[in-house]
Amino acid sequence: MDGVKYIVAVASGKGGVGKSTITVNLALALSAQGYRVGVLDADIYGPSQAQMLGVREGVRPQATADNKFLPLEAHGLQAMSMAFMVNPRDAMVWRGPMVVGAFQQMLTQTQWDNLDFLLIDMPPGTGDIQLTLAQKVPVSGAVIVTTPQDIALLDARKGIEMFQKVNVPVLGVVENMSLYHCENCGHEAAIFGTGGGERIAEEYQTSVLGRLPLTLSIRELADSGRPSVISEPDSPVSQTFADIASQVAQSVRASGNDGPTISFSE
């Protein structure tokens, strides 16, 4: 893709595991380390990056002379989302081909400005958007987000299997909501179980990039449009994101991956 050096998909097999929160904080952590970073919100039905980046409702991307979109800028990131195109309160009652068309348009007609990393916030599942991404652009790697819960791990496995089928390297697993931490009394509890990230990483010969707690502040700061990495840069949570960002950058740059190849069989 013009203007983009590396593309990293942030994916999960199911919704509700905090994938979008991980994406925006990972992007901000990469930016804090000196990289030029963009975020593409590929969740057409439920885009959330606009709110997490604090982009006001009704702000629209400008068009260039050659019929491309200029990404919006927020917190030093370049961003593109379906939420910039339509009223975010409107339900996208679209069939699959329309969704794929909208995704392809954002993917190929956004004029990114000299990015080191483009992070793609993938929708849940292993369907049309995922296959279109693998077919259309060279994806350098994928980060899988899961919770330790066995039900989440079932779907995370499908996400890993899907990327393996299209030869996209899985850079590692982020275990979100790994431990509940009460900010009032300090009590900790493994609400969603323990060891899920390690089990799936071992099964697929990858690594656990980091573990993030279930805390009120992560949710509040993302909802407010000022995620943890910029609001609390010295916190343990932000340090975890910095560690994850360093591992992702190192893995992508070391792999030299030129992207996936697609093969079909009967």
Note the helical H segments in the chain.
19-32, 49-52, 96-109, 128-136, 150-165, 196-203, 216-223, 228-231, 236-255
Q: How confident is the model at residue 257 (pLDDT cuts 50, 70, 90)?
A: low
Which pLDDT score is estimated for 190?
87
* Stronger pLDDT, 166 or 28, i.e. the higher one: 28
| Mode of pairing for the β-strands spanning 180-181 and 188-189 | antiparallel
**Locus of tokens 């909501």:** 177
Alpha-carbon span 170 to 167, nearest angstrom: 9
Q: How confident is the model at residue 259 (pLDDT cuts 50, 70, 90)?
A: very low
* Stronger pLDDT, 260 or 220, i.e. the higher one: 220
Which pLDDT score is estimated for 90?
82
For the chain, give the percent of residues with pLDDT over 70.
Answer: 96
Structure tokens belonging to residue 69: 């979109």
Which pLDDT score is estimated for 131?
86
Does residue 236 come out as left (phi exceeding 0), alpha (psi in the -120 to 50 range) or beta?
Answer: alpha
Q: Which helix (H) or strand (E) holds 208?
A: strand 208-211
Amino acid at 158: K
Tell whether pTM > 0.75: yes
Judged by average pLDDT, the poorest of 32-36, 112-116, 209-213, 254-258 is: 254-258
Residue 141 has pLDDT above 80, yes or no: yes
Residue 246 has pLDDT above 90, yes or no: yes
Chain centroid, CA 60 distance in Å: 22
Contacts of 1 (CB under 8 A, 6+ apart): 7, 107, 108, 112, 118, 137, 138
Mean pLDDT of 240-260: 85
Mean pLDDT of the chain, nearest integer = 90
Alpha-carbon span 98 to 80, nearest angstrom: 18
End-to-end Cα, the chain, rounded Å: 31
Alpha-carbon span 88 to 69, nearest angstrom: 19
* Stronger pLDDT, 60 or 187, i.e. the higher one: 60
Mean pLDDT of 120-148: 91
Residue 191 has pLDDT above 90, yes or no: no
Which pLDDT score is estimated for 122?
95
Tens-place pLDDT, residues 192-231: 888 889 999 999 999 999 999 998 899 999 999 999 999 9
Which pLDDT score is estimated for 258?
47
Domains and CATH numbers, the chain: 4-255 (3.40.50.300)
Contacts of 203 (CB under 8 A, 6+ apart): 157
For 156, counting Cβ atoms within 10 Å of its Cβ (0-12 exposed, 13-18 middle, 19+ buried), the class is buried
Structure tokens belonging to residue 23: 């994406």
Beta bridge partners of 180: 189, 214
Residue 186 has pLDDT above 80, yes or no: no
Phi, psi of 170 (to 5 degrees): -90, 115
Q: How confident is the model at residue 262 (pLDDT cuts 50, 70, 90)?
A: very low
For 43, counting Cβ atoms within 10 Å of its Cβ (0-12 exposed, 13-18 middle, 19+ buried), the class is buried
**Locus of tokens 């991980």:** 22
Which pLDDT score is estimated for 256?
66
